[in-house]
Structure 1
Amino acid sequence: MRSLRSRLLASHLAVALTGTLVAVVIGGALTSTLVGRQLGMMRGAMGGGQAQAAQDAVRSVLPVALAWGAVAAAAVAAALALLLSRRIVAPLTAIQEASHRIARGDYRQEVPRPHDAELAAVAADLEELAERLARSEETRARLIDEVAHEMRTPLTTIRGTMEALADQVIEPSPEAYERVAAEASRLERLAQDLSTLSRADEHAVELRTAPEDLAAIARDAATHLEPQFDHAGVRLEVDAGSPVPVVVDRDRITQILLNLLGNALTHTPAGGSVTVAVGAARGMATVRVVDTGAGLTADELDRVFDRFYRGAAGRGAAGRGIGLTIARSLARAHGGDVTASSPGPGAGAAFVLSLPTGPDPLRGQDPAREA
């Protein structure tokens, strides 16, 4: 396969040689005609023999002069073509070398920026791609490390308990078996959460959507966790009286709200409160989960949705740290989002689930049933 440089050089030479050939042909024809005409006008003054001799001399010298001119023009054209082809190909070669290094996994590098706007745009896009690949690689490595860490604790507990039972260090008892079963369930939940998160990231979550009332979903989620709030001494208030129609996968939205409420409970001390408020405005339905807990710093707000990020220790700090990540991913799969805000440490935090509004789930039902 011919290189781009050789093709550019050949094209420049072809254009230059064609131009030189045309100039030689036209120059020779015009020069011969014009010289002959001029000598014809001078025949009377010079005499016929002298004029003819001059014309013959011009005609004999002219081809040689044009040939040497053509050779000189071709040489200059070749030099310029080589220079221009190198100038054009050099930045492309630099970009190609950078792309090869990126393909080998060397993402941390600066791609040379050519002076040409089009090539500079290509270089900028390639550098941005390299940065994104670097971040993805860092996330992948961190994810593997953190998953291994998450698995290590329950596996250690299971192994220790089973070895103790085998060595008869402890007697077989329902408590020992329950401890093993609890750690196995923890591993199972971790696997399920990671699977959900992976599918959400790849936009492969299967959503079984239907018209629903977001207020009813919020009330059900709060009712499900109410015993845990009572046990922790945290007051749970729900403002979800008016129906808010949405088209969603009810189970997935329930999962989002359980994660948001569980996170609020984890970081709210006894005597505090968590408020759930459902509303709608400008085509978006919202569920606000506001707590009076530990609050978030600016750095925590930037990282709170990262995988396995736990932030400040709170009640149940042994959680897996991917609940909020899953909540945001599932919300975005519905065309919505989950956002966080906080006045600062010690001032509580607010997490807002936003979803596009939909048709009223009660519309079209039998009036007798609505009654």
Structure 2
Amino acid sequence: MRIPTSGHRLVRLVLHLPLSIRLGLSHVAVLLVGLGSMSVAADAFDVFEGRGHVDIDPIFGSALTVGVAAAFTVAVVFSRFLLRPLHRVRTATHRLAEGHYDGVLDVPREPGLAALVEDVNRLAASLADTERRRARLVSEIAHEMRTPITILRGQIDGMADGIFTPDDAMFASLTDDLDRLRRLADDLSSLSRAEEGAFTLHAVPTDVTLLVHATAERLRTQYDDKYVTLEVVPGPTVTARLDPDRIAQVLVNLLGNALVACDSGGRVSVTVQVEQEPSPHAVVRVEDDGIGIAHRDLARIFTRFERIEHPNRPAPAGGSGIGLTIARGIARAHGGDIMATSPGLGRGTALTVRLPLELTGTA
């Protein structure tokens, strides 16, 4: 049934009224329905009893007047208690929009409003944490870029002034610093694509086991230099449709992190297998016996620009804290994921990559 045009206008008018007025009108509406029902029931009861009709209009009018006044007054009074915390929430959201994240609202006793206030407080805390990491990102990027730029400037000025000889060694040094800047730019670009889910995948049928072996061999020299054992456990041939370059990027990150986590004499193992539940997946597991991760930090390691600090162990030099964020973004672009587990500090870490045998993610 279509509502007449006048009805539409009335509905729009009511929706634009203040909440306190609408609460009052709702109480009045309930009262009118109740009194109307009582009147109909009284008439039906009189007919049923055969005592004739009793005129209840004066009683109904008096009850209606008193009831409307009482309902509206009660609604306005109670709405003040309801609107007060809502006004505080509104003020808090305005402060959040202005970039002020330090205001924590008092949680009211009413459960529904308490849930809303707690959500706003969590939002403020999350935004404050994001802003803290953003500020640290700017500082770290500036630091990472300042060092090679300063070296490049010094070397170029030195060659221009005749202090340095423009020989092969000098050009090799210039190339190293330029490569460092390029890697930083590539990492930031990959981070942006990871957060937007915009990785371009060139997926082909790939032997995952062979890819893992080849990637591990690329890094074996670094393991040998640090006297850390790298063991690639023999496994079945696992073929999946994926982007081999992107997955190799993931494996390099995981194996590099495992190497950093281990002391001299440590051990890292890599296994490849297939799991059928909940759907056929290739599973690559990189496990080390290094410094481990506290349970509270397992989720944080995938957060961009987060570098977990360990007591009496400095953070690795040159790390930007975005490698695992990028790695997880690549895995999820393939329709898979990366998970971390650790028994605790000093007890090693395992990072598990799950990749569907058929590409299900979006490129």
Task: Give SS of 1:280's match.
Answer: strand
Aligned twin of 2:233:
239
Q: Normalising by the residue count of structure 2, what TM-score does the alignment of the two structures yield? A: 0.72
**1:20 and 1:70 in contact (8 A); partners too:** yes
Q: Normalising by the residue count of structure 1, what TM-score does the alignment of the two structures yield? A: 0.70
Aligned twin of 2:340:
339
Larger radius of gyration: 1
Name the CA shift for 1:230/1:10 in 2 (closer, same or farther; >3 Å). closer
**CA RMSD, Structure 1 to Structure 2 (Å):** 3.9
Say whether 1:219 aligns with 2:217: no
Name the CA shift for 1:177/1:88 in 2 (closer, same or farther; >3 Å). same
Aligned twin of 2:307:
309
Task: Give SS of 1:309's match.
Answer: coil
Task: Give SS of 2:206's match.
Answer: strand
Task: Give SS of 2:103's match.
Answer: coil
Name the CA shift for 1:208/1:15 in 2 (closer, same or farther; >3 Å). same
The one-letter code sitting in structure 1 at the alignment partner of 2:340 is T
Gaps of 5+ in 1: 24-36, 38-61, 361-371
Shift of 1:2: 4.0
Shift of 1:164: 2.0
Say whether 1:202 aligns with 2:196: yes
**2:24 and 2:71 in contact (8 A); partners too:** no
Aligned twin of 1:279:
273
**1:310 and 1:317 in contact (8 A); partners too:** no
Shift of 1:256: 0.8
The one-letter code sitting in structure 2 at the alignment partner of 1:336 is D
**1:21 and 1:70 in contact (8 A); partners too:** no
Distance 1:191 1:241 in 2: 36
**2:268 and 2:288 in contact (8 A); partners too:** yes
Aligned twin of 2:129:
135
Residues 150-178 of structure 1, C-alpha deviations (whole Å, 9 max, x = no match): 11211121122222223332222222222
**2:148 and 2:178 in contact (8 A); partners too:** yes
Name the CA shift for 1:86/1:161 in 2 (closer, same or farther; >3 Å). same
Aligned twin of 1:178:
172
Distance 1:182 1:106 in 2: 42
**2:206 and 2:244 in contact (8 A); partners too:** yes
How many pairs were matched up?
321
Identity of aligned residues (%): 38
Distance 2:36 2:261 in 1: 85
Aligned twin of 2:18:
3
**2:261 and 2:292 in contact (8 A); partners too:** no
Residues 38-87 of structure 1, C-alpha deviations (whole Å, 9 max, x = no match): xxxxxxxxxxxxxxxxxxxxxxxx99x99999876665455334313323
Shift of 1:191: 1.0
What are the within-5 Å matches in structure 2 for residues 1-371 of structure 1? 2-9=17-24, 12=27, 76-268=70-262, 272-283=266-277, 284-291=281-288, 294-296=290-292, 298=294, 302=298, 304-306=301-303, 307=305, 309=307, 311=309, 317-334=317-334, 335-341=336-342, 344-345=345-346, 349-358=348-357
Residues 205-227 of structure 1, C-alpha deviations (whole Å, 9 max, x = no match): 22333433211110121232334
Gaps of 5+ in 2: 1-15, 39-51
Distance 1:320 1:126 in 2: 30
Distance 1:350 1:115 in 2: 43
**1:341 and 1:351 in contact (8 A); partners too:** yes
**2:331 and 2:355 in contact (8 A); partners too:** no
The one-letter code sitting in structure 2 at the alignment partner of 1:3 is P
Distance 1:89 1:319 in 2: 49
